[in-house]
Structure 1
Amino acid sequence: MSTRTARGCVIKAGEMEFRPLDGCRVATAVGPHLGARIVRLDVVEVPAGSVWRPSSSPREENVVVVFGGSGSAASGTARRPVGRADTVYAPTGDPYELSADAGDDLTAYVWNTELRPERAPGTDPRRFSRLWNEETQLKGFTGTGQAETSARTATMNFLFWPGTGSPQLCLHCGFMQPGEYFNVHVHPESEEAFIAFEGKGQLHLDGEWYDAAPGDVLFAPPGVPHGTRHPDEDPTAPRFATCGGPTPFDPVLYQRAGVPTDVR
């Protein structure tokens, strides 16, 4: 059952409401209906052999995570085959497109924001990556003091972030082995929207823990505590992975990782 409060929500994948749009199906998981003012998170289902080609504004950024199926994706004039766990970044003003293979539906989660006037696009942004890209990571995150912390900390991959040319949106992937936490924290000026991508675990929102399965979504407004954990103590249990990020990006995460916060 989805949980919605004035201070955020956890939305179960099976309770999202889809609508037909341009030959595809779209559900807005996070948006103005939840009080989100900075970020929107849509779930897009592209039928086999079809194309999702949304319109975009000159100040719009998009990040795509392929949740299931296979096909190809375009960002601006660049195109690449994609499958589960592949990711796409469409810089400000550049269109993106998702095409599903002839024999396979494609499902994607899409983060969208309008670039704020004081922020400038990157000079040569990365357009494609994968959730399991380990080139830049945050380890040993101790949270920001809103809840008791665990020393058994998760690892977070940075996929799209200031170091890859993203001025406002970001995409991170946190993966937890049994017993590990991404400790509770807040983003003072950012809205957080992320999904459970793989395995089963729990999501923290404003003092409570909620069971989560793949496709579930968490939304936390600025200043609301949130985090994740893998509560299973069986060392053979599958890992729990989440992906998403605060919008605008929170420089604290990169400072904790010891990497620059400047947009390249």
Structure 2
Amino acid sequence: MTRTSFSGTLAASPLGDARIVTAAEFEFTRIAGRRTTIATPVSPAAGATHVTLHVVRVAAGESFSPDGSVGEENTAVVFDGRGTATVGSRSHPVERAHAVYAPTGQALSLTADAEGLTVYVWRTPLTAGRRPGTDPEPFSTLWDETTQLRGFGGTGQIAPDSDRATMNFVFWPGNGSSQLCLHCGIQQPGQTFNVHLHPDSDEAFIAFEGIGQMYLRDRWIDVAAGDVLYAAPGVLHGARNPHTGPDARRFVTCGGPSPYDPALYSAAGLSSDVR
């Protein structure tokens, strides 16, 4: 087994205060002579405020571990393939739609089996004053419906749609995440996760499944699975599935604001205290 680590930020197109980066625009680079490749569509070097987002294609039999992961928060979502995720001393098999959270103080490692493994990895340092959870949950899936936000009306800048999508809180303060969160928006045909902003947080999320639209700044933009949205603090964004009819399918997004935004949990009637 070959282990690959990565600490730098690869070249990325400037983000400004907001940008949608399509999967076709990702620039993959091989790491340290290995077969594993990485693209970095969102990073401080490209203009993000708080968060780095990698897309990693872990080659069969190889492992990826971000250098410095012990000193930062990490979340990862498997986009394709199978393998094993390790957080600290705990390991778990993973496949498409599985999610991983590595809190500050615990290293993240992702190992591919014979199919290879494509993962999206979010990274951010822990902000001063935030503490790690007492017993954070390291493994979950995007389809975890234990804790949800339903009927979200946005933050008031844009008139909300009435057919509102559901969001799964996969990793959040209630299950021990101290800075990064991972939410999954399920936009059934005709549904919208209404336009909103985060005053103090970057937003980096991806289209995980299907085709739909993301709102950015002042308009709706067509996207497909694999595409990435970045919005700086204060920039309006949202997601919707404009497709209806017998052939329409759900549109799924995942990611979240960094640092997490307590307003989303308040909208669900939940505390944002880290457990």
TM-score (norm 1): 0.96
| Alpha-carbon displacement from aligned partner over 1:178-231 (angstroms, at most 9, x marks no partner) | 110000000000000000000000000001111110100000000000000001
Task: Decide which of 100, 105, 130 is 2:141's aligned counterpart.
Answer: 130
Give the aligned partner of residue 218 of structure 2: 207
Task: Decide which of 122, 129, 132 is 1:111's aligned counterpart.
Answer: 122
Matched, 1:13 2:8: no
Give the 3-state SS of the residue equivalent to 2:68 in structure 1.
Answer: coil
Task: Decide which of 220, 231, 239 is 2:231's aligned counterpart.
Answer: 220
Matched, 1:254 2:265: yes
Give the aligned partner of residue 28 of structure 1: 40
Amino acid at match of 2:39: A
Give the 3-state SS of the residue equivalent to 1:108 in structure 2.
Answer: strand
Q: Unmatched 5+ residue regions in structure 2?
A: 1-12
The answer to whether the Cα contact below 8 Å between 1:144 and 1:186 also exists between their aligned partners in 2 is yes
Give the aligned partner of residue 3 of structure 2: none
Equivalent positions of 1:44-123 (< 5 A) are: 44-56=56-68, 58-102=70-114, 104-123=115-134
The answer to whether the Cα contact below 8 Å between 1:154 and 1:174 also exists between their aligned partners in 2 is yes
The whole-number CA distance in structure 2 between the counterparts of 1:110 and 1:119 is 21
C-alpha RMSD of matched pairs (Å): 1.3
Aligned length: 261
Give the 3-state SS of the residue equivalent to 1:94 in structure 2.
Answer: coil
Give the 3-state SS of the residue equivalent to 2:122 in structure 1.
Answer: strand
Shift, 1:70, TM fit: 0.4
Give the aligned partner of residue 8 of structure 2: none
The whole-number CA distance in structure 1 between the counterparts of 2:50 and 2:138 is 22
Give the aligned partner of residue 162 of structure 1: 173
| Alpha-carbon displacement from aligned partner over 1:1-43 (angstroms, at most 9, x marks no partner) | xx97633000000111111114211100101243112110000
The whole-number CA distance in structure 1 between the counterparts of 2:213 and 2:223 is 5
The whole-number CA distance in structure 2 between the counterparts of 1:88 and 1:96 is 9
The answer to whether the Cα contact below 8 Å between 2:57 and 2:119 also exists between their aligned partners in 1 is yes
| Alpha-carbon displacement from aligned partner over 1:46-81 (angstroms, at most 9, x marks no partner) | 011211123225530100000000011101100011
Amino acid at match of 2:68: S
Deviates more, 1:123-132 or 1:232-241: 232-241
Give the 3-state SS of the residue equivalent to 1:254 in structure 2.
Answer: helix
Matched, 1:38 2:50: yes
Equivalent positions of 1:176-215 (< 5 A) are: 176-215=187-226
**Displacement over 2 Å in runs of 4+:** 3-7
The answer to whether the Cα contact below 8 Å between 1:7 and 1:206 also exists between their aligned partners in 2 is no
Call closer, same or farther: CA 1:160–1:91 in 2, change over 3 Å. Answer: same
The answer to whether the Cα contact below 8 Å between 2:15 and 2:230 also exists between their aligned partners in 1 is no
Give the aligned partner of residue 240 of structure 1: 251
Amino acid at match of 2:80: G
The answer to whether the Cα contact below 8 Å between 1:4 and 1:10 also exists between their aligned partners in 2 is no
